[in-house]
Amino acid sequence: MRNLWLRGKFHLSALVILVPLPFLPAYFADKPLPHVAEIHRQVVAGPFSLGLVTEDQPPDRGAWGERIKEYTVTFRPGDMDTIRGVFLRVGKPRSLRTLGALAEGGAYEQHADVMLPDELSGSEDLWLTVETWNGTLHQAVVPLREILGGSGK
Amino acid sequence: MSDAKSRTRLWFLWHSWLAMPIWAFLFFVCLTGSIAVFSHEIMWLFNPAMRASGDGPAMPVKALVAAAEAAVPDGRVSSVSWGGSHIAVEIRMDVPDGTSVSAWVDPVRGVVQGISSGASFQRFFRALHGWLLIYPIGWYAVSLLGIPLLGALITGLVVYKRFWRSFYRPRIRFSQGARVMWGDLHRVGGTWSIWFLALMSVTGLWFLVTVVLWDLGMPLGGGKPPVLVARADLPVVETAPRSDLDAILAAAFAAVPDMRLRRVILPAVAFVPAEVSGSSGQAPLLPDTIQVNPLTYQVMDVSGGFDRSPVHLTSIVMRALHTGDFGGLPVKLVWFAFGLLLTLLVFSGMMIWTKRTLRATAEWRRTRAAKETSHA
């Protein structure tokens, strides 16, 4: 037994090859499975019903210490034929120039990095603005604590 | 035993111990990395849909896009990629469940030859090699291998006296037993792959640097603020106007005439310009990207060559040097061959180790113990 250990211990690194095995089914799944829990909300902005998704994790820190939360917006088929863009912002936008972070991505799923204030009172709202090709704005409001993730702070 | 000899022996032990405890992991990463060099070509070999039919004038890109969109209900084109004359044009489309599919379209006949979805062989091998399918732990584990690799190279050069003789007088003795053969293979193979070992360890360690920067929240991209289409430049219409891909390409070629086209990314969001990328031939490692307004076909930004942030520039060069994907098939062949040689080096090192180093380590310990008692 001791002899086996002496001879075999340096081949143990071969066990690393087993590491990818448990991840294979998820990797070859049709839709990649989320690796952390997610928060899902369906929001309605005018004629549009959009999915709002975020990881159930506290916000990230950017390079300069700013607090950032990434949101995913999902669309129904045909929605993006009339939508110019979707913007997300904490707090009510005051003008067309301050609609917030522009969601970027494909026709069915887009992502936006939303800046958060350093201190949250818990009463903030996430404002989602849909701008259509004819220039109309449609808005939806979600209490931020419901869609912040982590412990909601 | 003289001090110099003892020091050489210590270098030798360092050389052996650097890779041995992790040899199988290193072996796996070297092997998967070698295969990953040709992953695109292997896909091409096994998937007839990816092959282009051959000569003839290519159809307008909008015809290819129309064919692809007709083949995938509710599919919205997000990018079009050209891989070379032997590979069909890849048209990626977003589909309603949030994933994307690739349609392989023959550029001459304009026919959709096949549709692939999910993880491709290429992506799978890259993920297996680069992060063992588990990010970021696997990424750290794999990129940290650059340290023992670099260490093995440096100690190897110290230990192997007059290694340059292997360049002009390589000697592999097959008839004097396994230990001698593996030893010769290891020395000759190691000498011939000095450049490749240095390249792989340095570029590998760069991947460690990038993941650290990423985890610290540092931007790795161009560093320039994103180019966006102004709201005032957008037409006021009921439904999104269709963009003419051929006009986008014409505008890009007018800005960078001698470009070898690689990809066009089409935005779904009105404020985001279309992005054309390719290499202009002057600097094969440094692609050019041209941002074009997809409705007015006005070129909004051209960036390329050395006009990038240092981190971004380093990332592009390091990645190209690591994968060998910058000079077509001949370069890939060299990378593949030396990748296999590196795999063989790891294996032969392990063989030598099991046949020799265990004994040498015990001997060195004994000598040291004897010395310490005699000095005492």
Most B CBs within 10 Å, among A6, A13, A102, to test the B interface: A13
All structural domains of chain A with their residue ranges: 35-146
CATH number of A35-146: 2.60.40
Q: From the CA of A130, how many Å to the nearest CA of chain B?
A: 11
**A59 three-class SS:** coil
Residue in B closest to A105 by C-alpha: B268
All structural domains of chain B with their residue ranges: 3-40+124-218+328-375, 224-305
A75 φ, ψ to 5°? -120, 155
ipTM score assigned to the predicted complex: 0.88
- pLDDT at residue B40 in the model: 87
Joined tokens for residue B104: 């392989």
Q: Which of residues 87-106 of A touch B (CB under 8 A)?
A: 96, 102-106
- pLDDT at residue B1 in the model: 52
Most A CBs within 10 Å, among B27, B31, B94, to test the A interface: B94
Tens of pLDDT along chain B (376 residues) come to 567 788 888 898 899 888 888 999 999 999 999 999 999 889 889 999 999 877 788 899 999 999 999 999 899 999 999 988 888 999 999 999 888 999 999 999 999 999 988 778 888 899 999 999 888 899 999 999 999 999 999 999 999 888 888 888 888 898 888 888 999 999 999 999 999 999 999 999 999 999 998 888 776 665 567 899 999 999 999 999 999 999 999 999 999 988 889 999 999 999 999 999 998 766 667 888 999 999 999 999 998 777 778 888 898 899 999 999 887 889 999 999 999 999 999 999 998 888 776 677 777 778 888 887 776 5
Task: Tell me which amino acid residue B126 is.
Answer: R
CB pairs under 8 A between A and B: 125
Only one residue has tokens 């046949």, namely B355
Q: From the CA of B149, how many Å to the nearest CA of chain A?
A: 16
Residue A110 in contact with partner chain B when CB distance is under 8 A = yes
**B40 three-class SS:** helix
DSSP-derived secondary structure for A60-86: EE-TTS-EEEEEEEE--TTGGGTEEEE
Report the distance separating Cα B261 and Cα B253, nearest Å: 9
Report the distance separating Cα B251 and Cα B274, nearest Å: 11
CB B288 within 8 A of CB B183: no
What are the C-alpha distances in Å from A24 to residues B30, B119, B130? 20, 11, 15
DSSP-derived secondary structure for B98-152: S-EEEEEE-TTT--EEEEEES--HHHHHHHHHHHTT-TTHHHHHHHHTHHHHHHH
